[in-house]
C-alpha cells in the first residue's frame, strides 16, 4: 500500500517500501512505474488533498502522485520473524527516520517473537527516528480479527498483546 506515503512524503527525502508479501511489493512497483494495471490510488490521493484543505483537482492529484513517485527508492523484502538479525533486504539496512509497520506485528506467534521483532526494527531507526506500529491491541472492547489477507493468501494473526505489553517491548528494545 502507498497509503503511508500519502502523508509522509512531503518531508521524505526517500521512501523504501519493505514488505514480506511479494504481491504487495509488486503492486507498489507497478504504481511507481505508472503501470496502467496498477491499483488506482487517485481517490485516496484526492481525499488526502482535501484533508490538506485543497480542492483535490485532477492537476493536484497528478502533481502529488508525481512527487510521491519521485521520493520512492525501492520495494524490498522484509521479514520481521526471521531468526537472522537481518530483517530487511541487504543494502537497505537504514538508518531510517520513520519505520511504519502495518499489520506485520500481528503475525508474531508469541510475545517473545514480538519483542524480538521490535528490537530488530529498532536497530534500523536513526537516533532521532521513530517506529510507528499499526496493530491490533487487546482491550475489553476490542474484537481482534483472526487473519490478514493478501491476495489469495490468508495469514493467521496469532499475537494478542495489550497496550502495556507493547510499551514493555519498546522499553526492552531501548526505545
Continuous H helices in the chain: 3-8, 22-32, 42-51, 58-71, 111-122, 163-172
Q: Which three cell numbers stand for residue 45?
A: 490521493
β-strand partners of 155: 148
pLDDT in the model for residue 138:
53
- Nearest Cα to 1, choosing from 88, 118, 91, 104? 104
Those residues of the chain that have pLDDT short of 50 are 139-144
pLDDT in the model for residue 141:
45
- Residue 134 DSSP SS3: strand
pLDDT in the model for residue 38:
92
pLDDT in the model for residue 133:
81
pLDDT in the model for residue 143:
47
Amino acid at each position: 500500500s502507498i497509503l503511508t506515503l500519502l502523508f509522509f512524503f512531503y518531508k521524505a527525502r526517500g521512501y523504501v517500501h519493505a514488505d514480506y508479501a511479494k504481491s504487495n511489493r509488486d503492486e507498489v512497483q507497478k504504481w511507481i512505474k505508472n503501470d496502467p494495471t496498477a491499483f488506482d490510488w487517485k481517490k485516496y490521493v484526492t481525499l488526502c488533498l482535501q484533508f490538506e484543505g485543497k480542492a483535490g483537482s485532477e492537476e493536484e492529484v497528478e502533481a502529488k502522485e508525481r512527487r510521491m513517485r519521485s521520493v520512492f527508492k525501492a520495494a524490498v523484502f522484509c521479514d520481521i520473524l526471521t531468526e537472522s538479525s537481518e530483517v530487511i533486504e541487504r543494502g537497505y539496512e537504514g538508518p531510517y527516520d520513520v519505520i511504519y509497520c502495518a499489520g506485520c506485528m500481528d503475525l508474531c506467534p508469541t510475545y517473545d517473537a514480538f519483542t524480538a521483532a521490535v528490537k530488530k526494527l529498532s536497530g534500523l531507526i536513526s537516533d532521532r527516528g521513530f517506529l510507528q506500529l499499526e496493530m491490533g491491541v487487546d482491550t475489553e472492547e476490542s474484537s481482534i480479527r483472526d487473519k490478514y489477507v493478501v491476495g489469495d493468501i490468508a495469514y493467521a494473526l496469532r499475537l494478542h498483546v495489550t497496550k502495556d505489553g507493547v510499551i514493555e517491548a519498546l522499553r526492552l528494545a531501548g526505545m
